[in-house]
């Protein structure tokens, strides 16, 4: 039975993996920054040896996109150096490694869905440090290691766009939401299921990159409209342009991911975004 280390266990993906863990015949070790410092290589080595870890799912990440512009050292430690340490340790101890990355490695100027081989060009520190993590992992090249790029994540856990819209939808009569940024949301529970489904099938000599998000294409405006409709909230959603909502880091205007590779190689089905949103909202209702 595999012994699986999951880092970032209190984040959206880590929380979903933890909730699903009882459905799989694996031994899971869920850690967060208090129980395992992924920026300390010796601590990782000790944990892996003590618990005979043979698989790592690296869900730890510095995801504060705007804050990262000033907090560059910590963003680099978590997104880049921690990935380097995990890759080095995985190579030395023959450990399977699944690392989660982001659409922010792209600049969002594409006109068709990004494939895994498209040129990267991050807009800010967050994307740059995530890309640095990808590159160092490829350079170290542990066997049975993959990178999964995802986008627009949301969950019944943690802070995310869906929860923000639900809160504001109850507090306000109307909201302005950006309509000129296009992509696809990712229900983190679906991503967690996909990771656990493909885990036993991973067998490669060189680090492989895969894209994963829900099926479909929409803007943040479309997403907000559907959240309000499903939640039966009366809040009016008005479309606004990105320039009307300035942020320190330019968000990708187009971040649609082509998922043909992961579907073909691992024979998985990916849910449509509306179906996933409906499932997430139902779960949130049940937990009230």
Active site residues: 126
Residue 71's CB is within 10 A of a number of other CB atoms, namely 14
Residue whose entry in the numeric block shows the structure tokens 């730890």:
60
CA dihedral 107, 111, 113, 115 (to 10 degrees): -60
- List Cα–Cα distances, 119 to 105, 112, 115, in angstroms: 9, 13, 9
Distance from the Cα of residue 259 to its chain's centroid = 14
Token couple for 108 = 């969002």
CB 12 within 8 A of CB 155: yes
Residue whose entry in the numeric block shows the structure tokens 């894209």:
211
What ranges make up the beta strands (E) of 79-207?
96-102, 145-150, 153-154, 174-178, 182-183, 186-187
What backbone torsions phi and psi does residue 43 show, to the nearest 5 degrees? -65, -40
Strand partners, 208: 146
CA angle 140, 145, 150 (to 5 degrees): 110
Token couple for 260 = 């043909």
What is the three-class DSSP state of 220? helix
Strands 218-219 and 182-183, by their bridges, are: antiparallel
């Amino acid at each position: 039975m595999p012994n699986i280390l999951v880092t970032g266990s209190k984040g959206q993906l880590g929380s979903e993996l933890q909730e699903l863990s009882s459905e799989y015949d694996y031994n899971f070790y869920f850690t967060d920054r208090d129980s395992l410092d992924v920026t300390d290589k010796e601590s990782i080595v000790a944990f892996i040896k003590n618990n005979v870890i043979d698989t790592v799912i690296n869900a730890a990440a510095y995801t504060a996109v705007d804050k990262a512009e000033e907090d560059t050292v910590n963003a680099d430690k978590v997104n880049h150096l921690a990935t380097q340490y995990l890759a080095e340790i995985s190579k030395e101890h023959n450990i399977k490694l699944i690392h989660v990355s982001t659409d922010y490695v792209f600049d969002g100027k594409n006109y068709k869905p990004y494939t895994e081989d498209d040129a990267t060009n991050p807009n800010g520190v967050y994307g740059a440090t995530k890309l640095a993590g990808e590159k160092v992992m490829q350079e170290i090249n542990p066997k049975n290691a993959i990178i999964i790029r995802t986008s627009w994540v949301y969950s019944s856990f943690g802070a995310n766009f869906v929860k923000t819209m639900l809160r504001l939808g109850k507090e306000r009569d109307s909201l302005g939401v950006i309509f000129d940024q296009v992509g696809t949301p990712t229900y983190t529970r679906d991503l967690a299921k996909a990771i656990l489904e493909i885990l036993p099938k991973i067998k490669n000599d060189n680090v492989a990159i895969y894209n994963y998000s829900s099926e479909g294409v929409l803007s943040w405006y479309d997403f907000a409209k559907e959240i309000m409709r499903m939640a039966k909230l009366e809040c009016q959603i008005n479309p606004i342009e990105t320039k009307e909502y300035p942020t320190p880091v330019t968000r990708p205007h187009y971040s649609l991911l082509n998922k043909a590779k992961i579907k073909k190689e691992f024979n998985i089905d990916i849910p449509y975004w509306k179906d996933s949103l409906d499932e997430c909202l139902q779960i949130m209702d049940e937990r009230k």
